[in-house]
A and B are shown apart, each in its own frame.
Chain A
């Protein structure tokens, strides 16, 4: 912890500066056969307003890493520093979008988002809060369904609400744990566009886990490739230099896309 003081940075980094600093991160799960080391010596810096995707084989510790950043999982060693403050628990400054939409099924879409809005804007008036919630629901294309119960919505629509909820928190970092993993490929494409559209407006630093190579390239500024566990680490980082805002069609037709794709697949198949 003492070395950390040197790496503490200003509270509000400008664009391009390191916002999230992961230092010597370690995660150990105790098992009856002895400790199982999931992550060890993991170093990663993520810059402000950067969109990073993390790709790796199942069980390599991607989700463990993300849930430690979210503060939902305890850190065994090292530290995660957000804006100069080490992370000790969960908080609304880190919005999380889970693989399952995790909406509260007994509430409407609007109530689900309002639950978040109420927590971040405790002093705002009821109408102001409603406006915020409705704004983000409109952004994800759900203006007409805000009063439907969450359980009545399709998986894709539920995940849209999940995106609206996460953005409405105005988080410093957005954490996405395979948010589109359970959707069919058409809906998945739609939601990638929705996500990018909202993200282009809000420019929130985003970290997303995915299994999908194309998705990783299409969304990210950098693709982080993780080695397989145990003791997983960062294996390779690929910078994606497409300009934003991105258009799916032109990116898929771009020569570089296949270059990036080959790089990712080569890494994953080794």
Chain B
């Protein structure tokens, strides 16, 4: 059980040119420690160089793909309408007009512009949202006074709203995962009989794909929510994320609890601490480092599966954004998808950093 988590951990380590940057932020000591200013500058230049290389590769790669698409379009026009039509298409592409833009991998500049346009869209949408609430303020106050439901803005979610929704879902999912996996992990770690009872569940359900978890949760929530009014897609996402991501914490908690230093347990035995005191004073604090390592994996997994689950659950988060843009097929859809990809990646990276900071403040080190 222990090895599987470690393997998972290793999978999450990103190898390659960004490793030094990552380890720097993760707080692990890099192999060569930059002490003097000279080598620090050297390292910074190395990172900067790799970023430039990355964008150059992307820029020229997308240009090559663009040309392939453009040539196909020109040839198709030639087949249909002869050389004149081919020339017209070629000129049209050269002007950059949307009506004849080849649909290929967007360049870095396209993605940047898509980001800017999404920011403008966000400003427009939040203005209209503000306007809606200003206009309905009086009516809503009346409705509230009468004990009725107030009017809610039902317009399209902006990209920023979607980020918020996704973060909220992942936060709720991780909290739920903690509440399920830590108590069970403690019981499994403490008692061999409980371990036998849970082991098969862990082994069988741990590798199940997020999509299947989503379907299972959907089947259950669909029935439960028949007579209750609730944000169904949000709850389905939260529960599914929790079920996908809780395993690392469960396994790590049980291993941490099972490997509490025997000296500490002897102290508990000599003092004859009660069950609750034993757990909260001895076992939990001493297995907290292991639990936190599990939680970090849980958070990374939760964020990763969230995108897929949101897509299926139609929850207005980043996952469904990506899917809707792909279905939409507008001229800047691809660029928006890639912009979202960067946002997802950066948020995932920041979440891990936050977990690491939490771990440092909460966990004792020997």
Contacts and interface: CB of A to CB of B under 8 A. Distances in A.
Given A102-B264, A151-B366, A70 B270 contact: yes
B364 A105 contact: yes
Nearest to A166: B270
A72 interface: yes
A106 interface: yes
Interface in A23-77: 70-72
Contact of B266 (A98, A106, A107, A119): A98
Given A104-B281, A105-B364, A105-B366, A96 B266 contact: yes
A100 B286 CA distance: 16
B179 to A, nearest CB: 23
A91 interface: yes
Interface in A63-101: 70-72, 89-92, 94-96, 98, 100
Nearest to B365: A151
A115 interface: yes
Contacts of B271: 92, 115-116, 119, 169
Contacts of B270: 70, 72, 90-92, 94-96
Contact of A102 (B267, B273, B281, B365): B267
B263 A119 contact: no
Contacts of A90: 266, 269-270, 272
B211 interface: no
Contact of B272 (A105, A106, A107, A119): A119
Interface in B256-289: 263-264, 266-267, 269-273, 281-282, 285-286, 288
Residues of B in contact with A, size category: 10 to 19
A105 B264 CA distance: 10
A72 B281 contact: no
Q: Is the interface of A mostly helix, strand, loop or mixed?
A: loop
Contact of B267 (A89, A94, A104): A104
Interface residues of A, number: 23
Nearest to A103: B267
A106 B273 contact: no
A113 to B, nearest CB: 11
Contact of A106 (B263, B269, B285): B285
B286 A106 contact: yes
A151 B267 contact: no
Interface string B354-366: 0000000000111
B263 A102 contact: yes
A236 B263 CA distance: 31
B208 to A, nearest CB: 36
Query: By CB atoms of chain A within 10 A, which of B269, B271, B285 has the most?
Result: B271
A115 B281 contact: yes
A21 B267 CA distance: 24
Nearest to B273: A119
Contact of B282 (A70, A94, A104): A104
Contacts of B288: 106
A70 B271 CA distance: 11
Nearest to A98: B263
A122 to B, nearest CB: 11
Contacts of A72: 266, 269-270
Contact of B263 (A94, A95, A100, A151): A100
Contacts of A105: 364, 366
Contacts of A96: 266, 270
A102 B281 CA distance: 14
Contacts of A94: 270
A172 B4 CA distance: 48
Interface in A151-175: 151, 169
13 contacts: A71-B269, A72-B269, A72-B270, A89-B269, A91-B270, A95-B270, A96-B270, A98-B263, A98-B266, A102-B263, A104-B282, A104-B285, A106-B288
5 pairs of A and B residues whose beta carbons are closest in the complex: A106-B364, A102-B263, A90-B269, A106-B285, A119-B271
Interface of B: 263-264, 266-267, 269-273, 281-282, 285-286, 288, 364-366
